[in-house]
Amino acid sequence: MRTIEWHDGAVRMIDQRKLPHEYVEVEFIDYRQVALAIEEMYVRGAPAIGAAAAYGLALAAVHSKARSEAQLVADVKEAADVLRNTRPTASNLFWALDRMLGRMDDGTLEGIEQIQQALVVEAQALADEDVAVNKRMGTYGAELIEDGYNILTHCNAGALATVDYGTALAPIRTAWKQGMRVHVFVDETRPRLQGARLTAWELMREGIPMTLIVDNAAGHFIQAGEVDIVFVGADRVVANGDVANKIGTYKLAVVAKENGVPFYPVVPTSTIDLAIDSGEGIPIEERDPHEVTHVCGQPIAPEGVRVANPAFDVTPHRYVSGIVTEHGIVYPPFRKGLCSVVEGRRP
């Protein structure tokens, strides 16, 4: 299941706002449409956002009216600025845009047509690599799972959060395919209910046993000894091992640590930002209050109520058991290991 792909000069993606009740694919031919789709969460999840941004730049190049190479480059860079301002927390967004611009500016391309073709090829390569990376993370992460494990996850870090296969769901999928008996507790994940709408949908489609729980029940199941391990995704991991992920992740990590349950983010190296030293430097997106005051379009709070709606929180590295990447599992202390995997080496 490809969340996003290139199709005859257009970007095709699943409209995740419609799931689980409707499966709808939409197509865009303008990078501004892709930027809006990222902002409005047609597509979400750090790796999928990165792929969407890359395809958005490819659209900008292919559909540019430029008559000179210089103008084409200017058009693409203008599109990159627009896309860069869509979601501030996800590291993959900036990584993907920098990779695409680096390909355009690497000095090997000449002429409008060659630049256009190269950016399409680069975006497709980035998307294909995401799938391969996720499967490698699944292999490493599955080593942490034992037969009969109960696994807790938060938000959606499955195929829908990536190009395909997933991050936090990758070890679960891999273990299931290896014949292990696993069961997943799925946090509903307020306010946008990505766990209830998306993770539950993915797991049920594959027949992986799961139980949907409200976010506030997670501590109960952890304390009761019914959770063996916690897997989450991440939108940014910084140099000291602090992890930014969907709001509610921090309290899961604290409760897991208190009860001796291992807590593992599963992240591609494109999510690791070594330029930021600690979680204090991670920008946290504040989203529309309507997401909190309404559920499925229906109001649930008094009109005019004051709302705070941070989309992410930061889990300090002291609560993190290890970080699963495509090059292996990084264990504390994290700095050296994170540098190694970003350089493509084993931690």
Active site residues: 235
C-alpha angle 249/259/227, rounded to 5°?
70
Q: Are 195 and 156 in contact (CB under 8 A)?
A: yes
C-alpha angle 192/195/201, rounded to 5°? 115
Q: What single letter denotes the amino acid at residue 27?
A: E
CA distance 280 to 91: 15
Q: Tell me the residue length of the chain.
A: 347
Structure tokens at 192: 């946008």
Of the candidates 192, 219, 329, the residue with the CA atom closest to the CA atom of residue 265? 329
DSSP string for 113-181:
HHHHHHHHHHHHHHHHHHHHHHHHHHHHHHTT--TT-EEEE-S--SGGGSSSS-STHHHHHHHHHTT--
Kind and range of the H or E element at 231?
A: strand 229-232
